[in-house]
Structure 1
Amino acid sequence: MAARLSSPAETPYTSPERNFRRRVTWVVWCAGVAVLLATNLLHRHDEPSGPSPTSRAAAAPAPSHPAAPSHPATSSASPSNDRPAGKHLPRSAPTRLLIPKISVDAPFTDLAIDDTGKLQPPPAGDTNLVGWYAKGVSPGETGAAIIAGHVDTTTSAAVFAGLGDLEKGDKFSVERSDGRTASFVVDSAETFAKDDFPDNRVYADTPDAEVRLITCAGTYDRTVRDYTDNLVVFAHLV
């Protein structure tokens, strides 16, 4: 089963600016959104050990959160044990995400896997908050760091409302608890169908320090109470 982000059980907020700004539907992520992470990130030799993700559970009628893949992601881009790491910073927790182009200036919260193997989302009540998978790669560290944030709640737009506007070459930064700032450049912003989500490409280990900004996208299907797609912004450390 492909990794994907979950979506709301309620009808999402729709701002009047959306149809003016684009002809396609806004990417939307609600209070039930969360991020999957390939288990190879849990077993990196330089990461603290974390709970072993379980296999996916069946979707519940209420808002659900994604389960971690049941098998480690692999990729031809994954470094071998004797391959030197690329440009990177030492491990340090992120404290703030800054994306000037879309006016994001948001603090971080830790995201953790629960005992069912699902990654818990950031609190839905704070529309200016992003989360990172704290037992995975930190932003700036070698590998693919995972950052998630709400775009909409049922009442208002939220921190990632403009994430779909990011393009190749756009820059953003992550302030870290060690006092350093990790600066990133966007490589691409791509939308994937949830039933055909490229786990390996998104979550596989990388020889350089990279970031994935992830949210939901596509149209909201009120019948299944789910969004059709996921938006992923790929970026690398500079």
Structure 2
Amino acid sequence: MTGPRWTSAESGAEVASVAAAAAAPASRAGTSAGDLPDAVTDPLDVPRQSAALDAQGPAPASPTRLEVPSLGIDVSVQPVGLDEQGRMALIDDPAVAAWYQYGPAPASASGSTVIAAHVDSLTYDVLPFARLRDASPGMEIVVTDAAGAQHRYAVQGRGLVPKDDADWDGAFDRSGPARLTLVTCGGEFDYGARRYLSNLVLTATPTR
């Protein structure tokens, strides 16, 4: 599946990040796409760094719902960790998006909140995140958290990146300005390997 390719005028460093906590235990809430017999998207390779954390206050509320009204996207979100291979796990139900729970949350003061979902599957056909290919700059994204707070973002950029070239250090960065990173698969589909060759990565910044 392909779509128009464009990126933000901002530099990649503006919307990318630096590394997620990877020594965290693998999530039991979901499995990676490679473990799903009918899935056609791949899990995300999460950069590894020390799990040592300084003293912190209460963790921000986790996201539970993501909406992109202009694209008709309205999906529930569930927390995930790492799979047995150290990659970001994905929810068994490909119609549900996954939030990387060892990284920033929407209410975090800094860093990249990562939410990912399959683009399609042999069982569920084309899924909501497939519509992200039509996202345009300034388009509103609304993320609701477990406390009932709504966090609003504006799309800054969207790009189709070959999987081997993806900047996961940037996507999972805990530092820098607070931002939202949405990830799915896209581009050319390799029928022999049953996988897409690229990732569609969308970045958005808080508006209020």
Instruction: State the TM-score bracket (shorter-chain normalisation).
Output: 0.7 to 0.9
Out of 176, 201, 209, which is 2:170 matched to?
Answer: 201
Please say if 1:214 is aligned against 2:190.
Answer: no
Out of 178, 183, 192, which is 1:223 matched to?
Answer: 192
Out of 4, 9, 20, which is 1:41 matched to?
Answer: 20
TM-score scaled by structure 2? Answer: 0.73
Instruction: Tell me the CA shift for residue 71 of structure 1.
Output: 5.5
Instruction: Tell me the CA shift for residue 70 of structure 1.
Output: 4.2
2:118, 2:76 → 1: CA distance? 13
Out of 59, 65, 70, which is 2:43 matched to?
Answer: 65
| Structure 1 consecutive aligned stretches of length 4 or more whose deviation exceeds 4 Å | none
Q: Which residue of 1 aligns with 2:62?
A: 93
Instruction: Tell me the CA shift for residue 159 of structure 1.
Output: 1.9
Is the 2:64–2:76 Cα contact (8 Å) retained in structure 1?
yes
Is the 2:24–2:81 Cα contact (8 Å) retained in structure 1?
no
Q: Which residue of 2 aligns with 1:105?
A: 74
Deviation string for 1:119-153 (max 9, x for gaps)? Answer: 221123x52x2110112111231210100122211
Choose 1 or 2 for highest CA Rg: 1
Instruction: Tell me the CA shift for residue 183 of structure 1.
Output: 0.4
Structure 2 vs 1, CA of residues 65 and 207 (structure 1 numbering), >3 Å: closer, same or farther?
closer
Instruction: Tell me the CA shift for residue 154 of structure 1.
Output: 0.9
1:117-196 matches, cutoff 5 A:
117-124=86-93, 126-127=94-95, 129-141=96-108, 142-155=110-123, 156-196=125-165
- State the secondary structure of the residue aligned to 2:130: coil
2:171, 2:44 → 1: CA distance? 14
Deviation string for 1:34-77 (max 9, x for gaps)? Answer: xxxx884328xxxxx8239xxxxxx99x77634422468xxxxx
Greater strand share, 1 or 2?
2
Identity of aligned residues (%): 26
Deviates more, 1:211-220 or 1:196-205: 196-205
2:113, 2:43 → 1: CA distance? 19
2:48, 2:61 → 1: CA distance? 27
Q: Which residue of 2 aligns with 1:51?
A: 25
Please give the root-mean-square deviation of Cα atoms over the aligned residues, in Å: 2.9
1:131, 1:197 → 2: CA distance? 19
TM-score scaled by structure 1? Answer: 0.64
- State the secondary structure of the residue aligned to 2:92: coil
Instruction: Tell me the CA shift for residue 198 of structure 1.
Output: 2.0
Structure 2 vs 1, CA of residues 91 and 187 (structure 1 numbering), >3 Å: closer, same or farther?
same
2:170, 2:18 → 1: CA distance? 14
Is the 2:21–2:48 Cα contact (8 Å) retained in structure 1?
no
Any unmatched runs of 5+ in structure 1?
1-23, 28-37, 44-48, 53-58, 73-89
Any unmatched runs of 5+ in structure 2?
5-16, 27-33, 51-58
Is the 2:138–2:155 Cα contact (8 Å) retained in structure 1?
yes
Is the 2:63–2:146 Cα contact (8 Å) retained in structure 1?
yes
Is the 2:114–2:171 Cα contact (8 Å) retained in structure 1?
no
Deviation string for 1:154-199 (max 9, x for gaps)? Answer: 1322121201111111111111112211000111011111121123
Instruction: Tell me the CA shift for residue 111 of structure 1.
Output: 1.3
Query: Aligned residue pairs: how many?
Result: 175
